């Protein structure tokens, strides 16, 4: 555990102290990072960032809530991803990070493709890309519909269901487990691992949270080690078999990306469904529009992702000196991109605080990121959102929430932990 503690100190403990200090001094970025800001893209903190310029420097890093700049930087190969040992860190800290590598399938550390730059990133993404492409997902839609209908029907037996644990979490975990080929009796364990692993995408975690995540990652590694060995001996027709049969990937790379696909496959989708349920129950006038035009569900999912997408922020590191919007960004500098801010940028989305499922350009949101790291599962998530929310609201048009849902303590993912509801008359 000493190695884990040292690693925690370097990747979370020290940033935590610094960000708390910044927050205390009134720095909006520190306040967002330490969770004092619980609001959406419209929050006063994001407005403060916007007021300071298009890409101001705050708490020692550049930050932008400007749509064009976020999109530009996400697509600009002069910027790379932020891995824990990114170039902005002093050399001794990077050395210590190499020495404390825990060898666990942590989705926020290389070789997870999310935090790996080309050429390795290209190699990883090529192996699984097709399995999440339009053709593959269209073929899955019937199955997504069956799973959604079953879950919606099962809610009836519970007079006071929790729409997160009984519905929003179940749909994506069932679908991604089937895509990966993992057995149905693993669902509750996968959800537990997802719950403890999600915070690893944040910075500044308390030691207890980090230690719990690491303990669960040891279980994940043991499970996948055995499971991938079995698949190597007898590959099947699923995505994990694609990973293990690829001669291009080492076992560690296979495992890290298997764990990433699993977690990314449900963590954010749960929250898109949850956030969508809150928005739609709070906007009954919007719900009425679907009766006349059920085709609107797809656009509604885009508007949910724009208005209250689960992933609020991402970051990039400049690989060289870059001049952008009259700012000089020195090589090695960190740039934080507020996706929530970009999605509420009035220059792109007129009247951005209006939740409007008919919005023409809702699909231009950056809720799935953009560029080479743009969400691999975007197509799948969109289908799960449209099919799942439609099934729920068509079956229970009088659905209502029993008071405000309980927010998740995660800072970068905007999410609800619990959502007790009443299903209504039908
Ligand atoms: C509504 C649900 C989802 C949201 C909001 C979402 C959001 C995102 C975002 C913002 C990124 C880019 C992060 C960055 O550039 O730093 C990303 C990447 C990724 N997402 Fe999703 N995601 C969702 C669902 C899914 C699903 C269902 C999968 C299933 C496999 C998935 C797999 C991935 C993977 C593998 C990456 C890394 C891609 C790369 O680095 O090339 N996501 N996602």
The percentage of the chain sitting over the pLDDT mark of 70, rounded to a whole number, equals 96
pLDDT average, residue stretch 289-302: 96
CA distances to 21, 35, 49, 246 from 27, rounded to whole Å, are 9, 12, 10, 47
**pLDDT confidence tier of residue 84, bands split at 50, 70 and 90:** confident
pLDDT average, residue stretch 8-30: 81
pLDDT value at residue 426 = 53
Q: Is the pLDDT of residue 105 over 50?
A: yes
pLDDT value at residue 39 = 42
Atom of ligand 1 nearest to the CA of 374: 12
Atom of ligand 1 nearest to the CA of 314: 16
**pLDDT confidence tier of residue 44, bands split at 50, 70 and 90:** confident
Unique residue bearing structure tokens 């800001």: 37
Q: Is the pLDDT of residue 40 over 50?
A: no
pLDDT value at residue 158 = 87
| Other C-beta atoms lying within 10 Å of the C-beta of residue 78 | 14
pLDDT value at residue 327 = 94
pLDDT value at residue 92 = 86
**pLDDT confidence tier of residue 32, bands split at 50, 70 and 90:** low
**pLDDT confidence tier of residue 390, bands split at 50, 70 and 90:** very high
Q: Is the pLDDT of residue 29 over 80?
A: no
pLDDT value at residue 145 = 98
Atom of ligand 1 nearest to the CA of 179: 30
Classified as helix, coil or strand, 329 is: strand
pLDDT average, residue stretch 306-327: 95
Q: What is the CA radius of gyration of the chain?
A: 21
Atom of ligand 1 nearest to the CA of 124: 41
Q: How far is the CA of 378 from the centre of ligand 1 (A)?
A: 7
| pLDDT digits 0-9 by tens, 321-333 | 999 999 999 999 9
Cα three-residue angle 9-13-18, rounded to 5 degrees: 135
Q: How far is the CA of 374 from the centre of ligand 1 (A)?
A: 7
pLDDT average, residue stretch 212-216: 96
Atom of ligand 1 nearest to the CA of 315: 16
With the most atoms of ligand 1 within 8 angstroms of its CB, the residue from 266, 268, 410 to mutate is 268
148 vs 171: CA distance, rounded Å: 6
Handedness of CA 200, 204, 205, 207 (dihedral sign): positive
Q: Is the pLDDT of residue 42 over 70?
A: no
Ligand 1 binding residues, C-beta < 6 A: 113-114, 125, 132, 260-261, 264-265, 268-269, 272, 309-311, 314, 367-369, 373, 375-377, 380-381
State the average pLDDT for the chain. Answer: 92
pLDDT value at residue 30 = 72
With the most atoms of ligand 1 within 8 angstroms of its CB, the residue from 256, 264, 415 to mutate is 264
pLDDT average, residue stretch 170-189: 96
User: Which residue's alpha carbon is nearest to atom 21 within ligand 1?
Assistant: 375
User: Which residue's alpha carbon is nearest to atom 38 within ligand 1?
Assistant: 373
pLDDT value at residue 21 = 81
Residues 156-195 as b/e (b if ≥16 CB within 10 A, e otherwise) read eeeeebbbbebbbbbbbbbbbbbbbbbeeebbeebbebbb
CATH number of the domain encompassing residue 21: 1.10.630.10
Q: Is the pLDDT of residue 74 over 90?
A: yes
**Which parts of 283-375 fold into alpha helices (H)?**
284-292, 296-308, 339-342
Enumerate residues 6+ apart whose C-beta is below 8 A from 9.
none
260 vs 95: CA distance, rounded Å: 25
Cis peptide bond prior to 119, omega within 30° of 0: yes
**pLDDT confidence tier of residue 36, bands split at 50, 70 and 90:** low
Q: Domain range holding 134?
A: 2-422
pLDDT value at residue 425 = 65
Q: How far is the CA of 346 from the centre of ligand 1 (A)?
A: 25
**pLDDT confidence tier of residue 67, bands split at 50, 70 and 90:** very high
User: Which residue's alpha carbon is nearest to atom 34 within ligand 1?
Assistant: 376
**pLDDT confidence tier of residue 336, bands split at 50, 70 and 90:** very high
Q: How far is the CA of 375 from the centre of ligand 1 (A)?
A: 4
Q: How far is the CA of 368 from the centre of ligand 1 (A)?
A: 6
Q: How far is the CA of 38 from the centre of ligand 1 (A)?
A: 22
Q: Is the pLDDT of residue 78 over 90?
A: yes
207 vs 10: CA distance, rounded Å: 11
Number of domains forming the structure of the chain: 1
Unique residue bearing structure tokens 């190699």: 123
Least confident residue range of 72-81, 89-98, 394-403: 89-98
62 vs 4: CA distance, rounded Å: 29
Nearest CA to 28 among 63, 66, 55?
A: 63
């Amino acid at each position: 555990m000493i190695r884990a503690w040292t690693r925690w100190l370097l990747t979370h403990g020290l940033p935590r102290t610094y960000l708390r200090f910044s927050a205390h001094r009134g720095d909006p970025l520190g306040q967002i990072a330490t969770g004092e800001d619980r609001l959406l893209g419209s929050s006063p903190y994001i407005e403060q960032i916007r007021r300071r310029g298009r890409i101001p420097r705050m708490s020692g890093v550049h930050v932008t809530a400007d749509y064009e700049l976020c999109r530009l930087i996400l697509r600009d190969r002069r910027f790379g991803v932020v891995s824990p040992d990114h170039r902005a860190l002093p050399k001794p800290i990077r050395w210590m990070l190499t020495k404390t590598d825990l060898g666990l399938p942590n989705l926020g550390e290389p070789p997870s493709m999310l935090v790996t730059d080309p050429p390795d990133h290209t190699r990883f993404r090529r192996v699984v890309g097709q399995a999440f492409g339009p053709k593959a997902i269209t073929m899955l839609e019937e199955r997504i519909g069956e799973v959604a209908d079953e879950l919606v029907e099962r809610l009836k037996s519970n007079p006071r269901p929790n729409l997160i644990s009984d519905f929003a979490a179940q749909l994506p975990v069932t679908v991604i487990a089937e895509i990966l080929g993992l057995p149905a009796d693993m669902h509750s364990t996968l959800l537990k691992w997802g719950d403890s692993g999600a915070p690893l995408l944040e910075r500044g975690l308390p030691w207890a949270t980090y230690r719990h995540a690491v303990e669960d990652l040891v279980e994940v590694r043991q499970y996948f080690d055995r499971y991938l060995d079995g698949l190597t001996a007898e590959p099947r027709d699923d995505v994990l078999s694609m990973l293990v049969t690829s001669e291009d990937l080492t076992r560690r790379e296979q495992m890290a990306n298997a764990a990433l696909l699993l977690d990314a496959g449900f963590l954010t989708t749960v929250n898109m469904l949850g956030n969508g349920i809150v928005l739609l129950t709070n906007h009954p006038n919007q719900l009425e529009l679907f009766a006349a035009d059920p085709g609107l569900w797809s656009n509604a999912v885009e508007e949910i992702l724009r208005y209250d997408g689960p992933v609020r922020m991402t970051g990039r590191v400049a690989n060289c000196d870059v001049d952008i919007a009259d700012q000089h960004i020195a090589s090695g500098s960190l740039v934080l991109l507020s996706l929530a801010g970009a999605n509420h940028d009035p220059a792109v989305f007129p009247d951005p605080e209006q939740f409007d499922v008919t919005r023409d350009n809702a699909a231009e949101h950056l809720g799935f990121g953009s560029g080479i790291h743009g969400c691999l599962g975007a197509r799948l998530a969109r289908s799960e959102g449209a099919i799942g929310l439609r099934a729920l609201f068509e079956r229970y048009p009088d659905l209502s929430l029993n008071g405000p849902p309980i927010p998740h303590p995660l800072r970068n993912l905007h999410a609800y932990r619990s959502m007790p509801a009443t299903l209504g008359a039908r």
